[in-house]
Amino acid sequence: MPTTAIPSENARNLNAGSTTLIASDAGIMGRAFVYSVCLCLILTATAKFLSSLGTSTILRELDPLLGIQFRYLFLLVAVLELLVACACVLTRNSQTPIRLIAWLSSTFLLYRLGLWCMNWHKPCGCLGNLADALHLPPSLADRALVAILLYMLIGSYYYLFLRQWKYRTP
């Protein structure tokens, strides 16, 4: 009597056209990546929010790319980072956090590229008071933010392409 293979849950979801990434696809490293990014987003959002409450003269200056005061830009980005962090933690679809992180990090990269194209080579003051409190030189704080950006960008696209590669049709 021939045996009938029972399709796995992954195969059923794939055959059903589901875009849900099964938790085992990304594995524990994927979940650790998402949670580590959420922690970074919460920390940088807090730093931006606290910096926006300060009295530094740069907060009244206009961002050269977007044309709004840095104070409001910091507030806007802090809220955006917190929303993405909350969505990453609260969503049931495990693909959504990776997509949100990829979108946010791509947006940050485009912003930085825009500044670079305008010959704006000042360090990002996004960490503001936190960098001052930690006695970090602005250039070191900027490098730390670039490192976080690269971590988010490379990690999110890695997990997006991992899924595409894993479920490609021969």
In order along its 170 residues, the chain shows pLDDT tens digits of 444 444 444 444 444 444 344 344 557 888 999 999 999 999 999 999 988 988 888 889 999 999 999 999 999 999 999 999 999 999 888 789 999 999 999 999 999 999 999 998 888 777 766 777 777 888 888 899 999 999 999 999 999 887 666 666 55
pLDDT reported for residue 73: 95
pLDDT reported for residue 106: 98
CB 117 within 8 A of CB 127: no
Q: Which residues pair with 7 in a beta bridge?
A: none
Contacts of 166 (CB under 8 A, 6+ apart): 25
Is 34 domain-assigned? yes
Is 19 domain-assigned? no
Is 72 domain-assigned? yes
pLDDT reported for residue 170: 58
pLDDT reported for residue 21: 42
Is 9 domain-assigned? no
CB 69 within 8 A of CB 62: yes
Is 84 domain-assigned? yes
Closest CA to 126 of 112, 110, 114: 112
Domains in the chain, number:
1
pLDDT reported for residue 138: 81
| Residue span of the structural domain in which 125 resides | 29-161
Is 16 domain-assigned? no
Backbone angles phi, psi at 66, to 5 degrees: -100, -20
* Rounded Cα distance, 1 and 17, in Å: 32
In the chain, count of helices (H) and strands (E)?
6, 0
Is 116 domain-assigned? yes
pLDDT reported for residue 166: 64
Is 7 domain-assigned? no
